[in-house]
A and B are shown apart, each in its own frame.
Chain A
C-alpha cells in the first residue's frame, strides 16, 4: 500500500475509534449541526440534505458505569452504552437526535437521552414494523415526510428534491464502493481483514459521505487482490445495532477460520441496499425501507414473504462458507426470537454453527476459543485438505 492509501485508512480508523474528534472538527469547519441517529433503519439522506451531518451513534468501548444506574442491567449492551454516554456528557456534541426504530430496548435508551439532554430535540417516528399490510406503504411514506419536516424544523433549512437527490447519490456511491469490498471478500479476496472492513463501515456511519468515499477510493485504488488461503470459511451472522469487538474476529482467525461473509449491521446489512435513483426522492426513501428488508431480512421487522433462514442458506451458497458463527448481542430479543429458526435451517442443511453471546464488557476468550476450535475441527474433518491453525502460525 502506498503512503496515501495507508494514511487514508488511518483516517478512517481514527474516526471509527474516536468519533468525537472528527465531529468537533467537522462542526468547526462547517458550522452546521451534527445529528445523532439511532440504528438501524433511519434514512440518513434526509439529514444530509439539510447540510447537517447525520451520525449513526456508536457503542462506546468504555466500561458501562452510570448507564447501569439508569437502565436495567438486562438491557442490551448497546442501549446501556447509549445511556452511559448520555450520563457522562459524551453525547453533548450532538444537536438533536432522530430514531425510526421500535426495538423496546432502544426506545428505553432514547428516552434516557431525551430526559437527560432535555434541551435537545429527540424525535421518534415509528417506521411501522409489519411490512405486509396494505396500509404500510402509505404509513411509511407519511413518516418519511414527518422526518423531513422535523429535519427542516431542527436545522432551519428547507429540503429541496435536488438536495435529497444529491445526498441519495452520494450515499449510494459510498454503499456501492463498500459493497465492492465485501463482494471481493465473498469471491475469495482476503486483502482486508474483518476488522478492517468494520473500520470502513463504522467510519462511513460517522463521516460525511463524500469525504468517506474519497478516502475509500484512495484505499481501493491501490488495493491488490490477495487470494485467501484454504482455512475454514465462516459466515458471521447477527449482531445488530453495534459492532462486535474486533478481538473476536482475531480469535476466529487464530483458530484457523477465515471470514468470507456476514450479515452484521456493521457489515453487509448496513450497505445492502441503495435508494433508487429512478424514483422521486421522497418516494425512493420509503421504497428503500422495504427493499432493505427484502435484501437482508431484519429481525426487528415482520414480513411473511421474507425469511432470514432462507437468506442465510443462500448467502452460504454464494460465499462457499462452511459454517456459521451466530453472534448474538446479549439480551437482544429480536435475535433471540429468530435464532431457533436459523438453527433449524442450518441443521436441516447439515451446516455446522455456533452461537456466541457477546456482552459489552468482558469476553470469555478461552471459552470461546475452545468452542470455536471444536467447531472448526468438525468442519476440517469433513475436508482433509485444510490448513490448520498450527500450520498457519509456522
Chain B
C-alpha cells in the first residue's frame, strides 16, 4: 500500500474542498430576508431544482436540523420545542425544525418591533429566514406531512402551504417492483401531475411565469452530477474500498439540495477522479481494510466523526448504505432533461422509506452482493419509525437468504441522548469475531 502513514480514517480530499458550497448555500439562506428574496420552506423530496428555476431561496427543514446537530447547535431549538409541548419521542428532525421555527419567529417579531437587529441572532437555530410559503413533498413517512402542517400552524396559519402527496409504493400486484409495474407507472403520472400544479402555485406566489428553460438546465446539471456520483459509488466495490459511506454522507447535502449548476458537476467529477486515482494507486479509505459492512438507517448527525472512527479503528470499511445509496437522484437514466418533470416525480417516489419490505429486501441484497459485504449494521433510529420499520425483518431475511449477519444499535438523527455507543462497540466486536470464525471455516473447507 502506498500510504503507510495514513490514519485509520482517510477521507476524500475532494469532499473537503467542496465544503464551501454548503456554507455558501447557508449564507444565502440566512441573508434571504435582508435581501428581500422570496423564501420557501420545504421538507422531504429534492424539489430544489424547481425552486431554483423559480428564482426562490429554498430552506430544507431536515437539512437545517441535520446541520444544527452536526455542529452540536441543536439544543436551543429542541428546548424551544419541548417548552412548546412537543414530546421527546417525536421525530427529532421535526422537533428540532419546529423549535427552530419558533425561535426564528420570535426573533423576527423582535426585529419587526425594533427590539433587536438581525445581526443579534447569534443562535444559529434562530437564524432561519421566515418563509413566504411552504411546500411539503414527503415520501413514505406520514410524520413528514404532519410536520409541515404544524410548521404552517405554528407560524400563524396564514403562510400558504402546498402539499404534494406521494403514494407509498406498497406493491399490491404481482407485476409491482422497483421501477416497474402498473403501480409505479400510475404513481409516476399522479405525482408528475401534482408537480405541474405545484409550479402553477409557485407562479401565483412569485407573480411571474415559471422559467422552464432554467429547470431544464438545472436538471441537466443534476443528471450529470448524479451519473458521476453513481459511477464513483460503484467503484467502491473495489477492495479495499477507495471511499466509504462516511464520504458519501459528506456529499449528501450537495446532491440533495445545493444549487444545480456546473459547480455541482465539477464537485462530483473531482470526487470521481479521486476515487479512480485511489484505486489506481491502491490507496484505501480506511487503514488495512479487513471487513466490509452495510449501514442501514438514517444518519446520526451528532455522531458522524465518532462513528467513522469507531468502524475504521476496527478495520471496518462501511462501504454502502440505504440512506446514501437509495435516495438522491440515484436513477439518473429516468431524467429526460428536455422534459424533466416525470423523472423528477419518479425520484421523489424512490425514497427508501417509500417501499414495501420486499423491495427493500431486494435492493439490500443487491447492494450486499455488489459491494461484497460481510454484514449489516442497523442504526435503529429511535425517533425515525420510517427507517426502522422493516429493519428486524430485513435482518432475519438477510441472515436466512444470504447468510449475512447483522447487529443493531440505538441512536437518532438529531437527538444524541438516544445514542448507545457502548452497545454498538461490543456488538460490533462480537460480529467481527463471528465473521472471522466464518472465514476460517470457509478457508478450511476450501482446502
Complex contact B163–A302 (CB within 8 A): yes
Complex contact A104–B143 (CB within 8 A): yes
Complex contact A133–B141 (CB within 8 A): no
Q: Is B205 an interface residue (CB 8 A)?
A: no
Complex contact B172–A74 (CB within 8 A): no
Tell me the bound Cα distance from A337 to B89 in angstroms. 10
Q: Is A344 an interface residue (CB 8 A)?
A: yes
Q: Can you name the residue of chain A whose Cβ is closest to the Cβ of B418? A: A74
Residues of A within 8 A of B168 (CB): 102, 107, 124, 126
Q: Can you name the residue of chain A whose Cβ is closest to the Cβ of B386? A: A104
Q: Can you name the residue of chain A whose Cβ is closest to the Cβ of B396? A: A70
Tell me the bound Cα distance from A139 to B167 in angstroms. 11
Known: A129-B142, A302-B149, A337-B147. Is A75-B157 also a contact (CB below 8 A)? no
Complex contact A340–B86 (CB within 8 A): yes
Tell me the bound Cα distance from A139 to B190 in angstroms. 9
Complex contact A331–B89 (CB within 8 A): yes
Known: A104-B140, A135-B194. Is A130-B145 also a contact (CB below 8 A)? yes
Complex contact A74–B382 (CB within 8 A): yes
Complex contact A107–B163 (CB within 8 A): no
Stretch of B38-46, B326-334, B387-395 at the chain-chain interface: B387-395
Known: A130-B163, A302-B146, A302-B149. Is A340-B393 also a contact (CB below 8 A)? no
Complex contact A304–B157 (CB within 8 A): yes
Residues of B within 8 A of A330 (CB): 89
Q: Can you name the residue of chain B whose Cβ is closest to the Cβ of A75? A: B385
Tell me the bound Cα distance from A178 to B389 in angstroms. 36
Q: Which of B365-383 contact A (CB under 8 A)?
A: 380, 382-383
Tell me the bound Cα distance from A328 to B89 in angstroms. 12
Known: A72-B385, A107-B168, A150-B172. Is A333-B84 also a contact (CB below 8 A)? no
Contact of B389 among A111, A126, A334 (CB under 8 A): A111
Tell me the bound Cα distance from A112 to B141 in angstroms. 16
Residues of A within 8 A of B391 (CB): 72
Q: Can you name the residue of chain A whose Cβ is closest to the Cβ of B194? A: A135
Q: Is B356 an interface residue (CB 8 A)?
A: yes
- Encoded as 1 (CB less than 8 Å from any B CB) or 0, chain A from 329 to 350 comes to 0110110111111011000000
Tell me the bound Cα distance from A192 to B194 in angstroms. 49
Q: Is B13 an interface residue (CB 8 A)?
A: no
Complex contact B89–A74 (CB within 8 A): yes
Q: Is A71 an interface residue (CB 8 A)?
A: yes
Q: Is B170 an interface residue (CB 8 A)?
A: yes
Complex contact B89–A104 (CB within 8 A): no
Tell me the bound Cα distance from A128 to B141 in angstroms. 13
Q: Can you name the residue of chain A whose Cβ is closest to the Cβ of B161? A: A304
Tell me the bound Cα distance from A114 to B170 in angstroms. 11
Complex contact A337–B165 (CB within 8 A): no
Q: Which of B150-209 contact A (CB under 8 A)?
A: 150, 152-153, 157, 161, 163, 165, 167-168, 170, 172, 190, 193-194, 197
Residues of B within 8 A of A331 (CB): 89, 385
Tell me the bound Cα distance from A343 to B163 in angstroms. 26
Q: Can you name the residue of chain A whose Cβ is closest to the Cβ of B361? A: A115
Closest-CB distance, B139 to chain A (whole angstroms)? 11
Q: Is A69 an interface residue (CB 8 A)?
A: yes
Q: List 27 A-B contacts (CB under 8 A).
A: A69-B392, A70-B392, A72-B380, A72-B388, A74-B89, A74-B385, A107-B142, A108-B385, A108-B389, A108-B390, A111-B356, A111-B357, A115-B393, A124-B168, A129-B142, A129-B165, A135-B194, A300-B146, A302-B149, A331-B385, A333-B90, A334-B142, A337-B90, A337-B147, A337-B149, A340-B84, A340-B85
Knowing that A114-B357, A304-B161 are A-B contacts, what are 14 other residue pairs whose CB atoms are under 8 Å apart, sorted by A's residue number? A69-B392, A74-B385, A105-B389, A107-B142, A108-B385, A111-B357, A112-B393, A129-B142, A135-B193, A135-B194, A336-B90, A337-B90, A337-B147, A338-B150
Residues of A participating in the B interface, judged by any CB pair closer than 8 Å? 69-72, 74-75, 102-105, 107-108, 111-112, 114-115, 123-126, 128-130, 132-136, 139, 150, 299-300, 302, 304, 328, 330-331, 333-334, 336-341, 343-344, 357
9 interchain residue pairs of minimum CB distance: A340-B85, A108-B389, A130-B163, A302-B149, A336-B90, A124-B170, A337-B146, A336-B87, A72-B388
